[in-house]
Every structure is written in C-alpha cells, then in structure tokens.
A = this chain, B = another copy of it.
Amino acid sequence: MGKLTIRPLFDAPTSTFTYLLYLETGQALLIDSVKEQFERDLKLVSELGLSLKYLIETHVHADHITGAGLLSEKTGAKIVYGAKSGVQSADLLINDGESIDLEGTSIIGLSTPGHTAGCTSWLIEGQVFTGDSLMIRGCGRTDFQQGSSEVLYQSVHQQLFSLSDQTRIYPGHNYQGHPWSTVGEEKMYNPRLGGQKSLEEFKRIMDNLKLAPPQRLAQSVPANLKCGKD
C-alpha cells in the first residue's frame, strides 16, 4: 500500500471537480471525469506515467456528460457506479458498504441517495468523495432524478456525519470557492444540514430554493446512463 496522492482537476464551465488519485506505484483512478476534459485528463495520466484502473462516478450527473466512456475505451480502466445508479452498462456496480481495491487501498462505496436515488459517496483512506450529496457549506438539489430532501437528510446524517470529524470531504462541485472541508466542519457549519437543523427545517430550505432546471439535463442524463459512450 503506497502513499496516495489526491489531485483535484476543475472544469470551469460546470464548476465540476474531477479527482485523480494515484499511488507511488502508478496505479490510479479518476472520480467524476468530464467529457470535455477528456484530453486534458488523458494527457496528465500519461505525463505522470500512471496506469488508470478505475473510472468511478458518484452518480448520473445532470449538468455534464462523464468522460468515463471515452477514457475506458482508451485505457481499459473499469467504469464503477453505485448499484442503484441505474447504469447497467458499468463494469462494476457497488452496493452500500462494498469496496473495490487499488493495490491494497480500499475504495468503499457508501450509498447516499437523495440528490439522485442512486448517489454513492466513496470513502478512501480518510477522505470521502461526496459528489452532489454533501457539498461544502451546501448540498445537491433534490428536485429531480428521484431526488428527495427526506432521503438526502438521512443519507448525510446516517452515512456521512457518522464518519470521523477529521474525514476530509471532497465535493463534486465548487460553487462558493471552498474546494474541501471536513465532516466535523460541515456538522457544525453547513447552513442546510449542520448545527441542529431538523429534517423539517431542511425540507423547508430545499422546498424554497426554486432553482431553474440544469441547462444540460436533457442531454446529460441519457448520455450518462450509457457511461458517456456515444
């Protein structure tokens, strides 16, 4: 088990974080890649001399198309989704609590539905990659793709807030300029879910957001259900 490096990458047009994780041996995985950044990501993997083993997704995104399909074709890396994602064409579908292995490093799937019904957060050596389930001082919306404020509240409290306070949270998006935070911080300062916010308060906050639909919803969801493959 070698030292793990976490390398965030950023897609400015959609404010999406992609994470490249790699061991000293060169074994690597990519979380939530963006199709438009396919060449950038592949170039970096090549420059660093990495061998890409997994393309992991936190959920079926509504705001961008995943780069997983293209990257899988080029590198042979396996596409990994949570079992409830509905992505039947993934190479691996992981149930809550199951893990995959990168040379002795466990990547544990934590089912965290609520933003979508199939969201999975990924726990890797004291870090959790939460996608749109829990974001820094925020959370994903719950008003489409079988989203549910009640379900998200339970996911965050039972799965994510039960991790140690030092666990570092790497979210799927960066809307307020906070690239990461910790479980302890979000438990205290997340304005929607932290402090002693009740389920009723959270539901009221989410009901009152009144957000416009994501611009790329109609293209992204069907494309992502096919892993972004054309």
Contacts and interface: CB of A to CB of B under 8 A. Distances in A.
Interface in A5-24: 7-12, 15
A14 to B, nearest CB: 11
B40 A10 contact: no
Given A12-B15, A15-B12, A47 B185 contact: yes
Copies in the complex: 2
Interface string A177-202: 11110000100110000000000000
Looking at chain A's contact residues, the main secondary structure is mixed
A176 interface: yes
B47 A9 contact: no
Interface residues of A, number: 21
A177 B15 contact: no
A130 to B, nearest CB: 17
Contacts of A178: 9-10, 44
Contacts of A10: 174, 177-179
A169 B10 CA distance: 16
